[in-house]
Amino acid sequence: MAAAFIIYSITLIFSVLLFGAVHTYAYTCMTLAVLIGSLLALKKCIQKNLKSGVYELKLPATSLHFAFILLLVFFFLQTFPLPDFIIRIVSPESWVVAQKSLPASTSVTSAGPTRAWSALSPYYYPVRMSIIRLTVYGLFFFGLIQVLNSRKRIELMIFLILITGCFEALYGLMETYSGSEHIWWFKKVAYRGDVCGTYINRNHFAGLMEMGLLLAAALAAGLAVRKSKQKVRSDNKSGLRAKFLRYLSGEQRFNKRILVLFSGIVMGIGLIFSASRGGMIAAAGALFLMGLLLTLKKKHRRKGIIFLVLFMLTSIYAIQIGVEYPLKRFKYFDDSFETRTRYAQKTLNMSADYGFTGVGVGNFQYAYPKYQAPEDKNRFIRHAHNDWAQFLAEAGIAGFLLLIAGLSYYIYRTIKLWLKRNDPFAVCLGAGSLAAVTSMAIHSYSDFNLHVPANCLMLAAIMAIGSAALHLERRRHREVMLYSYHSLPLQYKGIMVLIPMLGLIIWSGCWTMRHFMAEAYCNTVHNSTLNREQNPALREITKAIEWDRWNGEYYFKMARELAKIRDSEVLNPDWNMEERRKRQLEIITALEQAVRLNPFNAKYHLTLGWEYTYLWKDRDGYSKWLPAADLSVERAAYWAGVKTPYLHVKIGDYWTMRSKTVYPTNPMHKIFWASACRHYRKARSLEKSEALTDKIVKYVWSFYPDQEKIRDLGIRDRGLGIGG
């Protein structure tokens, strides 16, 4: 168990230090380390029964097993192909998206939709990554409660966390107020003037600080053990001089308490100077809960003073270095709240469409542009800034109810055990773990801390510390863990449990490595701290696909590189039409695969539509390729929303071009031109700029050099001799 404890400890610390483990290299190392540690912990669970002589799989029964298994099964269920009629009943919108993922070139030539089976989640790749992360967080918790089998280890883990938190706060303060404004080698671009530690986002740093502050407060209260009457009498007999000397020298427990309080003060200052309003509110609410819990136990009511002292000292330190700026940010609370409320409302609109089973865990950033508000145009929103609303949209009502049921069961079991305990160490750390969960629950209403791997791992660590402390009891001068265990003989039941556990660990490890290797060749995960090549060569993209064929962005980048090669080959006099057609089909195949994997991306559909038009001279150009192009652009319009005005310009350009491919007397001419006008007007309503209007006019003028078409757009003379 010692090796597993060391692995877990190092992993927790370095996941925090490496930008919160939000980048590929960091969360890959975190994932593999946790999986290795879990294998070591699982090995220790296989023990020989001394009475029967049979080997058993002995697993501690915790209150989180229920939530973990339910959510894991549900996440996997989102990826399983189901019959068409079931998808249409359970999630009609998912069925619509699945049909829009079918290649347009085959959809227009067949009698109807050809996909008979599809998954509840239209895009598999982000769900797979979410399953791996849930596995890592769950295994970390279950492994940690096994290795935290003594008070010494529990305290050591807590001190490692507090030291890490203090370093984060001091490093962040030093970088901010020295004017350096760096995070390791990376010069801060956003949140300048705010303390971020080694995190890129101040709110995620604040999440770490509030958890560290709560842990420090809990341990400080847990170390405040009252002396027995016998010891008090002996102290009285020793005289004032002896008492004074003992006070100066300091007992070990007193020194620990002072260090813990100091770490709490440092992290409290870090929290305040992160200027995170959500973090401050969440920490205050969680500390209130801790105080409320301790008042329920008569022997621990006075310990509420520790929290008051902690806050008082933090405030004094903060005032000395100037707390004006963090407090000023509360003046803009309404504006920020309005923005995040808008995000949440649009997310709830998404949730209403995908209803019972959700759009797929991890799919928010891909599906959200359709729902994005006009006020947020030209922004790429990866998270809803409300983890509750986002999880409801991604997992649906079913997944949300499973989460609530699992958390409720955990809280119920923890409080039930907590009420039975009287040991200060168990009582205070148990209350601290509940406070940490409360803090993250409050902060998650206005931010996305639970999408930061390091903070999720930290929350799992604090929950494991609380659970271990509540189950630790000293009997006859030795410490015992009072967990109840599932003992399964390694014959039938044990093997049936062990094999899936090993399979899940191996599957997670393999796909983590494959994902890392693919990203090493072709970067698609956002990384602001490394200057990665965003447009790698075709050979690199092909290698990435060999490692991970489920990422739609790889195929889109492949199509883009193939298009560059095609455009350069046009100048080659020896390049014949057959070679050009072959190259064009390669581009179309790559784009169709991108759309099949990720049907949410309007850019994929629009690009595919334009690429279809290159084959208009084919024998079936008018019967297949142009109708396929029309269908792809219609799909692009379905997903376009109001995020990008220029996307509507490109869609309008397509329909302008398309209107010239039919005679003016053809009814389709009016339909195509009406579509062009509609998207041009949409673009101009979103962005009232001269450059955008000029771009529209010049393109339309190249097809229709007359006043009538320009007037249809409601555009006056742009200096081209038109309008009036």
349-393 pLDDT, tens digit per residue, is 999 999 899 999 999 999 999 999 999 988 889 999 999 999 999
Q: Is 577 exposed, middle or buried (0-12, 13-18, 19+ CB in 10 A)?
A: exposed
**Measured CA distances, 321 to 257, 264, 267, 315, 499 (Å):** 25, 17, 15, 10, 57
Worst-scoring range by mean pLDDT, 108-117, 237-246, 655-664?
A: 237-246
426-470 pLDDT, tens digit per residue, is 999 999 999 999 999 999 998 899 999 999 999 999 999 999 999
- The dihedral formed by the CA atoms of 662, 664, 665 and 671, expressed in degrees to the nearest 10: 70
Q: How confident is the model at residue 250 (pLDDT cuts 50, 70, 90)?
A: very low
What confidence score (pLDDT) does residue 394 get?
97
What confidence score (pLDDT) does residue 473 get?
87
705 or 402, greater pLDDT: 402
Do 534 and 523 form a contact (C-beta atoms < 8 A)?
A: yes
Average pLDDT over residues 273-282: 86
Worst-scoring range by mean pLDDT, 19-23, 65-69, 346-350, 472-476?
A: 472-476
What confidence score (pLDDT) does residue 514 get?
98
Average pLDDT over residues 47-76: 89
The residues, ordered by sequence, that sit 6+ positions from 420 with a Cβ below 8 Å of its Cβ are none
pTM: 0.91
What confidence score (pLDDT) does residue 254 get?
62
Worst-scoring range by mean pLDDT, 243-252, 491-500, 683-692?
A: 243-252
- Considering only CA atoms, which of 214, 194, 196 is closest in space to residue 205? 196
Residue type for position 143: G
Percent of the chain with pLDDT over 70: 88
Do 461 and 30 form a contact (C-beta atoms < 8 A)?
A: no
What confidence score (pLDDT) does residue 318 get?
46
Q: How far apart are the first and last CA of the chain?
A: 83
Q: Hey, is 279 helix, strand or coil?
A: helix
What confidence score (pLDDT) does residue 247 get?
47
Q: For 355-392, what is the HEC assignment?
A: CCCCCCCCCHHHHHHHCCCHHHCCCCCCCCCCHHHHHH
- CA 637 from chain centre, in angstroms, equals 28
- Considering only CA atoms, which of 527, 526, 512 is closest in space to residue 136? 512
Distance CA 193, CA 173 (A): 10
What confidence score (pLDDT) does residue 243 get?
53
- CA 203 from chain centre, in angstroms, equals 14
What are φ and ψ of residue 196, in 5° steps? Answer: -125, -5
Does residue 255 carry a pLDDT above 80? Answer: no
The sign one gets for the Cα dihedral 529, 534, 537, 543 is: positive
Q: How confident is the model at residue 339 (pLDDT cuts 50, 70, 90)?
A: confident
What confidence score (pLDDT) does residue 245 get?
46
399-415 pLDDT, tens digit per residue, is 999 999 999 999 999 99
Does residue 562 carry a pLDDT above 50? Answer: yes
Q: How confident is the model at residue 244 (pLDDT cuts 50, 70, 90)?
A: very low
What confidence score (pLDDT) does residue 529 get?
84
Does residue 346 carry a pLDDT above 80? Answer: yes
Task: Return the percent helix, strand and coil in the chain, to nearest 5.
Answer: 70, 5, 25
624 or 255, greater pLDDT: 624
Q: How confident is the model at residue 619 (pLDDT cuts 50, 70, 90)?
A: confident
Q: How confident is the model at residue 66 (pLDDT cuts 50, 70, 90)?
A: confident
- Alpha helices, H only, 91-195: 92-100, 104-107, 124-147, 151-177
The secondary structure of residue 221, as a DSSP letter, is H
Lookup result for tokens 């319009």: 637
- Alpha helices, H only, 660-720: 667-686, 690-703, 707-712
151-162 pLDDT, tens digit per residue, is 999 999 999 999
What confidence score (pLDDT) does residue 437 get?
96
What confidence score (pLDDT) does residue 674 get?
94
Pairing verdict, β 186-187 and 472-475: unpaired
**Can you give the residue ranges of every domain in the chain?**
2-80+119-494
pLDDT, averaged across the chain: 87
The residues, ordered by sequence, that sit 6+ positions from 131 with a Cβ below 8 Å of its Cβ are 72, 75, 76, 79, 361, 508
Worst-scoring range by mean pLDDT, 82-86, 133-137, 294-298?
A: 294-298
631-673 pLDDT, tens digit per residue, is 999 999 999 999 899 999 999 999 999 999 999 999 999 999 9
What confidence score (pLDDT) does residue 390 get?
96
Do 649 and 679 form a contact (C-beta atoms < 8 A)?
A: yes
